[in-house]
Protein backbone atom coordinates (compact mmCIF):
# COMPACT_ATOMS: atom_id res chain seq x y z
CA UNK A 1 0.00 0.00 0.00
CA UNK A 2 1.54 3.26 -1.13
CA UNK A 3 1.93 6.02 1.41
CA UNK A 4 0.56 9.44 0.57
CA UNK A 5 3.17 12.14 0.07
CA UNK A 6 2.77 15.87 0.50
CA UNK A 7 4.76 18.59 -1.14
CA UNK A 8 6.38 20.89 1.39
CA UNK A 9 5.21 24.46 0.93
CA UNK A 10 7.71 27.26 0.51
CA UNK A 11 5.10 29.74 1.69
CA UNK A 12 6.29 31.64 4.77
CA UNK A 13 4.35 31.09 7.96
CA UNK A 14 1.92 33.93 8.70
CA UNK A 15 3.55 36.59 10.81
CA UNK A 16 3.43 37.26 14.48
CA UNK A 17 2.85 41.02 14.47
CA UNK A 18 3.83 43.49 17.17
CA UNK A 19 2.25 46.94 17.33
CA UNK A 20 3.98 49.63 19.38
CA UNK A 21 2.07 52.64 20.64
CA UNK A 22 4.10 55.80 21.18
CA UNK A 23 4.03 59.38 22.36
CA UNK A 24 4.09 61.37 19.14
CA UNK A 25 4.11 65.01 18.12
CA UNK A 26 1.55 66.56 15.75
CA UNK A 27 2.37 65.74 12.14
CA UNK A 28 3.69 68.41 9.81
CA UNK A 29 0.36 68.91 8.07
CA UNK A 30 -1.39 69.64 11.38
CA UNK A 31 -1.71 73.15 12.71
CA UNK A 32 -0.02 73.58 16.11
CA UNK A 33 -3.34 74.56 17.66
CA UNK A 34 -5.12 71.37 16.63
CA UNK A 35 -3.61 69.00 19.18
CA UNK A 36 -2.63 69.72 22.77
CA UNK A 37 0.04 67.36 24.08
CA UNK A 38 3.76 67.34 24.98
CA UNK A 39 6.18 66.73 22.11
CA UNK A 40 7.05 63.08 21.51
CA UNK A 41 9.64 61.22 19.48
CA UNK A 42 7.28 58.53 18.17
CA UNK A 43 5.50 58.71 14.84
CA UNK A 44 2.29 56.90 15.73
CA UNK A 45 1.77 53.12 15.74
CA UNK A 46 4.96 51.29 14.75
CA UNK A 47 4.55 47.80 13.24
CA UNK A 48 6.92 44.82 13.36
CA UNK A 49 7.22 41.19 12.36
CA UNK A 50 8.37 39.13 15.35
CA UNK A 51 10.71 36.15 15.06
CA UNK A 52 8.99 33.47 17.14
CA UNK A 53 12.28 31.71 17.93
CA UNK A 54 14.56 34.62 18.83
CA UNK A 55 12.11 37.36 19.80
CA UNK A 56 13.72 39.78 17.33
CA UNK A 57 11.50 42.47 15.80
CA UNK A 58 11.72 43.57 12.17
CA UNK A 59 10.04 46.87 11.25
CA UNK A 60 7.33 46.62 8.57
CA UNK A 61 5.77 50.08 8.64
CA UNK A 62 4.25 52.90 10.64
CA UNK A 63 0.68 54.10 10.85
CA UNK A 64 1.48 57.77 11.34
CA UNK A 65 -0.51 59.58 14.01
CA UNK A 66 0.30 62.86 15.73
CA UNK A 67 -2.02 62.23 18.67
CA UNK A 68 0.07 59.94 20.89
CA UNK A 69 -1.58 56.50 20.56
CA UNK A 70 -0.06 55.50 23.90
CA UNK A 71 -2.28 52.49 24.69
CA UNK A 72 -3.45 49.78 22.29
CA UNK A 73 -5.84 46.84 22.58
CA UNK A 74 -6.39 44.02 20.06
CA UNK A 75 -9.66 42.10 19.99
CA UNK A 76 -9.78 38.35 20.60
CA UNK A 77 -10.26 37.56 16.90
CA UNK A 78 -7.19 39.58 15.93
CA UNK A 79 -9.19 41.60 13.40
CA UNK A 80 -9.49 44.96 15.14
CA UNK A 81 -7.24 47.24 17.18
CA UNK A 82 -8.16 50.22 19.31
CA UNK A 83 -5.91 53.09 20.39
CA UNK A 84 -6.16 55.60 23.21
CA UNK A 85 -4.90 58.88 21.75
CA UNK A 86 -3.48 60.62 24.80
CA UNK A 87 -4.27 64.24 24.02
CA UNK A 88 -5.92 66.93 26.14
CA UNK A 89 -7.62 68.55 23.20
CA UNK A 90 -8.21 68.08 19.48
CA UNK A 91 -9.41 71.25 17.76
CA UNK A 92 -11.70 73.17 20.09
CA UNK A 93 -12.94 70.14 22.01
CA UNK A 94 -11.18 69.50 25.30
CA UNK A 95 -11.30 65.73 25.00
CA UNK A 96 -8.93 63.06 23.84
CA UNK A 97 -9.94 60.50 21.24
CA UNK A 98 -10.17 56.75 20.68
CA UNK A 99 -9.53 55.20 17.26
CA UNK A 100 -10.59 51.89 15.73
CA UNK A 101 -8.53 50.03 13.10
CA UNK A 102 -9.06 46.98 10.93
CA UNK A 103 -6.11 44.54 10.92
CA UNK A 104 -5.27 43.01 7.56
CA UNK A 105 -5.02 39.30 8.36
CA UNK A 106 -2.63 38.70 5.47
CA UNK A 107 0.04 41.29 6.24
CA UNK A 108 -0.93 42.96 9.50
CA UNK A 109 -1.45 46.40 8.00
CA UNK A 110 -3.85 48.82 9.69
CA UNK A 111 -6.81 50.65 8.18
CA UNK A 112 -8.48 53.38 10.19
CA UNK A 113 -12.20 52.75 10.69
CA UNK A 114 -13.18 55.76 12.80
CA UNK A 115 -12.26 58.03 15.70
CA UNK A 116 -14.56 59.14 18.52
CA UNK A 117 -14.39 61.22 21.68
CA UNK A 118 -12.84 59.48 24.68
CA UNK A 119 -15.23 61.13 27.12
CA UNK A 120 -12.43 63.06 28.79
CA UNK A 121 -8.95 64.51 28.38
CA UNK A 122 -5.81 62.43 28.14
CA UNK A 123 -7.08 58.88 27.54
CA UNK A 124 -4.29 56.72 28.89
CA UNK A 125 -5.80 53.23 28.91
CA UNK A 126 -8.23 51.13 26.88
CA UNK A 127 -9.42 47.56 27.44
CA UNK A 128 -12.04 45.29 25.93
CA UNK A 129 -14.98 43.75 27.74
CA UNK A 130 -14.87 39.91 27.45
CA UNK A 131 -17.92 40.06 25.14
CA UNK A 132 -15.83 42.17 22.72
CA UNK A 133 -18.82 44.52 22.34
CA UNK A 134 -17.62 47.35 24.61
CA UNK A 135 -14.40 49.28 25.07
CA UNK A 136 -13.50 50.82 28.43
CA UNK A 137 -11.45 54.03 28.59
CA UNK A 138 -9.57 55.67 31.47
CA UNK A 139 -8.98 59.40 30.96
CA UNK A 140 -6.00 60.45 33.06
CA UNK A 141 -6.22 64.22 32.71
CA UNK A 142 -10.00 64.26 32.60
CA UNK A 143 -10.42 62.12 35.71
CA UNK A 144 -13.17 60.14 33.99
CA UNK A 145 -13.87 56.65 32.70
CA UNK A 146 -16.08 55.87 29.71
CA UNK A 147 -17.87 52.94 28.08
CA UNK A 148 -17.64 52.96 24.27
CA UNK A 149 -19.82 50.55 22.27
CA UNK A 150 -18.18 48.53 19.49
CA UNK A 151 -20.43 48.30 16.45
CA UNK A 152 -20.84 45.18 14.31
CA UNK A 153 -18.24 46.32 11.78
CA UNK A 154 -15.67 47.19 14.45
CA UNK A 155 -16.24 50.92 14.39
CA UNK A 156 -16.81 52.76 17.65
CA UNK A 157 -20.04 54.43 18.72
CA UNK A 158 -20.54 57.36 21.06
CA UNK A 159 -20.03 56.71 24.77
CA UNK A 160 -22.96 55.01 26.50
CA UNK A 161 -21.67 55.99 29.93
CA UNK A 162 -19.15 58.42 31.44
CA UNK A 163 -18.28 58.45 35.13
CA UNK A 164 -16.48 61.39 36.77
CA UNK A 165 -14.11 60.53 39.62
CA UNK A 166 -14.74 62.45 42.84
CA UNK A 167 -13.35 62.40 46.36
CA UNK A 168 -10.53 63.67 48.52
CA UNK A 169 -7.14 64.00 46.84
CA UNK A 170 -4.34 62.16 48.59
CA UNK A 171 -1.20 63.79 50.03
CA UNK A 172 1.86 64.58 47.97
CA UNK A 173 4.02 62.34 50.17
CA UNK A 174 3.33 58.64 49.81
CA UNK A 175 2.87 56.70 53.03
CA UNK A 176 4.96 53.77 51.81
CA UNK A 177 7.58 55.57 49.70
CA UNK A 178 11.21 54.44 50.04
CA UNK A 179 13.45 56.45 52.38
CA UNK A 180 14.53 59.70 50.77
CA UNK A 181 11.89 59.57 48.04
CA UNK A 182 10.62 62.75 46.43
CA UNK A 183 8.38 60.84 44.02
CA UNK A 184 5.32 62.94 43.22
CA UNK A 185 3.22 62.70 40.09
CA UNK A 186 -0.53 62.57 40.36
CA UNK A 187 -1.76 63.93 43.68
CA UNK A 188 -2.89 67.26 42.29
CA UNK A 189 -6.36 66.14 41.14
CA UNK A 190 -8.28 63.04 40.05
CA UNK A 191 -6.41 60.83 37.59
CA UNK A 192 -8.12 57.70 36.22
CA UNK A 193 -5.19 55.52 35.18
CA UNK A 194 -6.52 52.06 34.28
CA UNK A 195 -9.85 50.33 33.71
CA UNK A 196 -10.59 46.64 33.12
CA UNK A 197 -13.32 44.05 33.64
CA UNK A 198 -12.91 40.79 35.48
CA UNK A 199 -12.85 37.55 33.47
CA UNK A 200 -16.63 37.13 33.64
CA UNK A 201 -17.30 40.74 32.61
CA UNK A 202 -19.67 41.18 35.52
CA UNK A 203 -17.57 43.75 37.38
CA UNK A 204 -15.33 46.55 36.11
CA UNK A 205 -12.46 48.07 38.08
CA UNK A 206 -10.63 51.35 37.64
CA UNK A 207 -7.73 52.88 39.53
CA UNK A 208 -7.61 56.60 40.31
CA UNK A 209 -4.07 57.56 41.23
CA UNK A 210 -4.93 60.95 42.76
CA UNK A 211 -7.68 59.56 44.96
CA UNK A 212 -5.68 56.50 46.08
CA UNK A 213 -8.65 54.29 45.26
CA UNK A 214 -9.69 51.38 43.08
CA UNK A 215 -13.34 51.76 42.10
CA UNK A 216 -15.60 48.75 41.62
CA UNK A 217 -18.51 48.92 39.17
CA UNK A 218 -21.27 46.53 38.23
CA UNK A 219 -21.62 46.42 34.46
CA UNK A 220 -24.90 46.23 32.55
CA UNK A 221 -23.75 44.74 29.27
CA UNK A 222 -27.08 45.29 27.51
CA UNK A 223 -27.20 49.03 28.29
CA UNK A 224 -23.46 49.67 28.39
CA UNK A 225 -23.80 51.26 31.82
CA UNK A 226 -21.71 51.22 34.99
CA UNK A 227 -23.28 51.33 38.47
CA UNK A 228 -21.48 51.56 41.79
CA UNK A 229 -20.88 48.32 43.60
CA UNK A 230 -21.26 48.03 47.37
CA UNK A 231 -18.82 49.05 48.62
CA UNK A 232 -18.04 51.29 45.62
CA UNK A 233 -14.25 51.31 46.09
CA UNK A 234 -11.27 50.18 48.11
CA UNK A 235 -8.65 52.58 49.41
CA UNK A 236 -4.89 52.31 49.13
CA UNK A 237 -2.57 54.02 51.65
CA UNK A 238 -2.58 57.85 51.38
CA UNK A 239 -0.35 59.20 48.63
CA UNK A 240 0.76 55.78 47.34
CA UNK A 241 -1.10 56.23 44.02
CA UNK A 242 -2.57 53.02 42.49
CA UNK A 243 -1.65 52.94 38.81
CA UNK A 244 -2.16 49.50 37.23
CA UNK A 245 -3.44 46.12 38.41
CA UNK A 246 -3.51 42.57 37.08
CA UNK A 247 -5.60 39.52 37.95
CA UNK A 248 -3.98 36.19 38.69
CA UNK A 249 -5.08 33.48 36.18
CA UNK A 250 -7.09 31.78 38.93
CA UNK A 251 -9.32 34.88 39.16
CA UNK A 252 -9.11 34.95 42.97
CA UNK A 253 -6.21 37.36 43.45
CA UNK A 254 -5.59 40.87 42.14
CA UNK A 255 -2.23 42.64 42.32
CA UNK A 256 -2.13 46.46 42.32
CA UNK A 257 1.05 48.50 41.80
CA UNK A 258 1.37 51.97 43.36
CA UNK A 259 3.21 54.59 41.34
CA UNK A 260 4.45 56.83 44.16
CA UNK A 261 4.55 54.35 47.03
CA UNK A 262 6.55 51.76 45.02
CA UNK A 263 4.48 48.93 46.44
CA UNK A 264 2.48 45.94 45.27
CA UNK A 265 -0.70 45.10 47.14
CA UNK A 266 -2.29 41.65 46.97
CA UNK A 267 -6.09 41.64 47.14
CA UNK A 268 -8.33 38.64 47.58
CA UNK A 269 -11.15 38.92 45.04
CA UNK A 270 -14.69 37.62 45.44
CA UNK A 271 -16.08 37.22 41.92
CA UNK A 272 -19.65 36.85 43.20
CA UNK A 273 -19.74 40.22 44.99
CA UNK A 274 -16.91 42.16 43.35
CA UNK A 275 -15.29 42.56 46.75
CA UNK A 276 -11.57 43.25 47.21
CA UNK A 277 -9.75 42.66 50.51
CA UNK A 278 -6.09 43.66 50.87
CA UNK A 279 -3.89 40.94 52.38
CA UNK A 280 -0.23 41.75 51.61
CA UNK A 281 1.86 44.84 50.83
CA UNK A 282 5.40 44.44 49.51
CA UNK A 283 7.92 46.86 48.00
CA UNK A 284 8.41 46.72 44.23
CA UNK A 285 12.10 47.49 44.78
CA UNK A 286 15.02 45.39 46.04
CA UNK A 287 15.67 45.37 49.79
CA UNK A 288 17.59 48.42 51.01
CA UNK A 289 16.68 50.75 48.13
CA UNK A 290 16.53 54.45 49.04
CA UNK A 291 15.55 57.40 46.85
CA UNK A 292 12.87 58.27 44.32
CA UNK A 293 11.11 55.79 42.06
CA UNK A 294 7.93 55.76 40.00
CA UNK A 295 6.30 52.37 39.43
CA UNK A 296 4.69 51.64 36.08
CA UNK A 297 3.54 48.20 34.90
CA UNK A 298 2.56 45.01 36.70
CA UNK A 299 2.00 41.64 35.01
CA UNK A 300 1.35 38.11 36.21
CA UNK A 301 2.87 35.31 34.13
CA UNK A 302 0.29 33.21 32.29
CA UNK A 303 1.12 30.18 34.48
CA UNK A 304 0.53 32.29 37.61
CA UNK A 305 3.94 31.52 39.12
CA UNK A 306 5.54 34.99 38.94
CA UNK A 307 4.67 38.69 39.13
CA UNK A 308 6.74 41.35 37.34
CA UNK A 309 6.83 44.99 38.46
CA UNK A 310 8.17 47.99 36.54
CA UNK A 311 10.33 50.58 38.33
CA UNK A 312 11.07 53.93 36.65
CA UNK A 313 14.20 55.86 37.78
CA UNK A 314 15.46 52.61 39.31
CA UNK A 315 14.95 51.31 35.75
CA UNK A 316 14.36 47.72 36.68
CA UNK A 317 11.79 44.98 36.53
CA UNK A 318 11.24 43.44 39.94
CA UNK A 319 10.56 39.70 39.90
CA UNK A 320 8.38 38.04 42.54
CA UNK A 321 7.39 34.43 43.07
CA UNK A 322 3.76 33.66 43.87
CA UNK A 323 3.14 31.52 46.93
CA UNK A 324 0.36 28.95 47.40
CA UNK A 325 -2.00 31.62 48.79
CA UNK A 326 -0.98 34.31 46.30
CA UNK A 327 1.57 35.96 48.56
CA UNK A 328 4.62 37.47 46.87
CA UNK A 329 8.31 37.00 47.57
CA UNK A 330 11.06 39.08 45.96
CA UNK A 331 13.36 36.77 44.00
CA UNK A 332 15.33 39.18 41.81
CA UNK A 333 15.43 42.09 39.42
CA UNK A 334 16.60 42.85 35.90
CA UNK A 335 17.96 46.12 34.52
CA UNK A 336 15.74 47.26 31.64
CA UNK A 337 18.68 48.26 29.37
CA UNK A 338 17.19 51.76 29.09
CA UNK A 339 15.51 54.35 31.21
CA UNK A 340 11.95 54.96 32.36
CA UNK A 341 10.30 51.61 31.54
CA UNK A 342 6.69 52.63 30.95
CA UNK A 343 5.30 49.17 30.27
CA UNK A 344 6.25 45.65 29.23
CA UNK A 345 4.45 42.78 27.56
CA UNK A 346 4.92 39.04 27.18
CA UNK A 347 4.99 37.40 23.77
CA UNK A 348 1.90 35.23 23.18
CA UNK A 349 3.81 32.05 24.14
CA UNK A 350 5.27 33.70 27.26
CA UNK A 351 8.83 33.04 26.13
CA UNK A 352 9.89 36.68 25.70
CA UNK A 353 9.28 39.95 27.52
CA UNK A 354 9.35 43.28 25.64
CA UNK A 355 10.14 46.37 27.71
CA UNK A 356 9.25 49.87 26.48
CA UNK A 357 12.01 52.20 27.69
CA UNK A 358 10.18 55.46 27.13
CA UNK A 359 13.03 57.93 27.59
CA UNK A 360 15.68 55.73 25.97
CA UNK A 361 13.64 55.46 22.74
CA UNK A 362 14.02 51.70 22.60
CA UNK A 363 12.37 48.37 23.31
CA UNK A 364 14.60 45.80 24.99
CA UNK A 365 13.84 42.10 24.49
CA UNK A 366 14.36 39.55 27.28
CA UNK A 367 14.02 35.78 27.35
CA UNK A 368 11.92 34.51 30.24
CA UNK A 369 13.09 31.57 32.33
CA UNK A 370 9.72 29.94 32.87
CA UNK A 371 10.85 27.85 35.85
CA UNK A 372 12.87 30.47 37.76
CA UNK A 373 11.07 33.61 36.55
CA UNK A 374 14.36 35.33 35.71
CA UNK A 375 14.91 37.52 32.65
CA UNK A 376 17.90 37.31 30.29
CA UNK A 377 18.61 40.12 27.83
CA UNK A 378 18.67 38.72 24.30
CA UNK A 379 20.85 41.52 22.93
CA UNK A 380 17.92 42.76 20.84
CA UNK A 381 17.26 46.48 21.04
CA UNK A 382 14.47 47.94 18.90
CA UNK A 383 14.69 51.67 18.18
CA UNK A 384 11.31 53.37 18.66
CA UNK A 385 10.75 56.96 19.73
CA UNK A 386 9.07 57.17 23.16
CA UNK A 387 7.54 53.68 23.13
CA UNK A 388 4.59 53.26 25.48
CA UNK A 389 3.08 49.81 24.86
CA UNK A 390 3.58 46.62 22.81
CA UNK A 391 0.63 44.41 21.80
CA UNK A 392 0.67 41.31 19.61
CA UNK A 393 -1.49 39.77 16.87
CA UNK A 394 -0.77 36.26 15.61
CA UNK A 395 -1.78 36.14 11.95
CA UNK A 396 -1.37 32.35 11.94
CA UNK A 397 -4.40 31.94 14.19
CA UNK A 398 -7.81 31.79 12.54
Give domain status of residue 272, yes or no.
yes
pLDDT of residue 27: 67
Tens place of pLDDT per residue across the chain (398 aa) = 333 333 344 556 679 999 999 999 876 545 444 555 667 999 999 999 999 999 999 999 999 998 999 999 999 999 999 999 998 877 777 889 999 999 999 999 999 999 999 999 999 999 999 999 999 999 999 999 999 999 999 999 999 999 999 999 999 999 999 999 999 889 999 999 999 999 999 999 999 999 999 999 999 999 999 999 999 999 999 999 999 999 999 999 999 999 999 999 999 999 999 999 999 999 999 999 999 999 999 999 999 999 999 999 999 999 999 999 999 999 999 999 999 999 999 999 999 999 999 999 999 999 999 999 999 999 999 999 999 999 999 999 87
Its domain, for residue 259, covers: 165-335
Give domain status of residue 108, yes or no.
no
In order, the DSSP letters of 163-198 are EE--SPPPPSS-TTPPTT----SSTTS--EEEEEE-
- How many Cα atoms occupy the beta-carbon half-sphere of 26 within 13 Å? 16
Which helix (DSSP H) or strand (DSSP E) does residue 385 occupy?
none
Measured in Å, how far apart are the chain's first and last C-alpha atoms? 35
CA distances from 98 to 72, 116, 223, 362, 386 (A): 10, 5, 20, 25, 19
CA distances from 102 to 18, 110, 153, 284 (A): 15, 6, 9, 38
pLDDT of residue 11: 53
List CB contacts of 394: < 8 A, sequence separation 6 or more.
Answer: 14, 16, 17, 78, 348
Domain harbouring 182, CATH code: 2.130.10.10
Give domain status of residue 155, yes or no.
no
Give domain status of residue 297, yes or no.
yes
Please give the Cα distance from 389 to 22 (Å, whole number): 7
List CB contacts of 6: < 8 A, sequence separation 6 or more.
Answer: none
pLDDT of residue 9: 41
pLDDT of residue 167: 96
Give domain status of residue 299, yes or no.
yes
Could you tell me which of 321, 315, 329, 238 has the C-alpha nearest to residue 282? 329
Give domain status of residue 218, yes or no.
yes
| Number of structural domains found in the chain | 1
Whole-prediction pTM value? 0.95
pLDDT of residue 397: 84
Give domain status of residue 90, yes or no.
no
Give the three-state DSSP class for 89: strand
Give domain status of residue 288, yes or no.
yes
Amino acid sequence: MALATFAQSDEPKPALMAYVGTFSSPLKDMLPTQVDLPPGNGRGIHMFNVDRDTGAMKPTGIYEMGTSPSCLAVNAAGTRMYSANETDRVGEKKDGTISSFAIDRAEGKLTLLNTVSAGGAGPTYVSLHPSQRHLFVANYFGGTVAVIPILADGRLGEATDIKVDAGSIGPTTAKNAPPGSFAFSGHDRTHAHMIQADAAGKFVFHADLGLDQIFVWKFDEKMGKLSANQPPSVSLPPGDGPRHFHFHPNGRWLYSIQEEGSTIVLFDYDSTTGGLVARQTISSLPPGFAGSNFCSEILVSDDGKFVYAGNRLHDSIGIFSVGPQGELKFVGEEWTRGNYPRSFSFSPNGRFLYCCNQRADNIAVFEVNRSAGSLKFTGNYVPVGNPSIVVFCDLAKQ
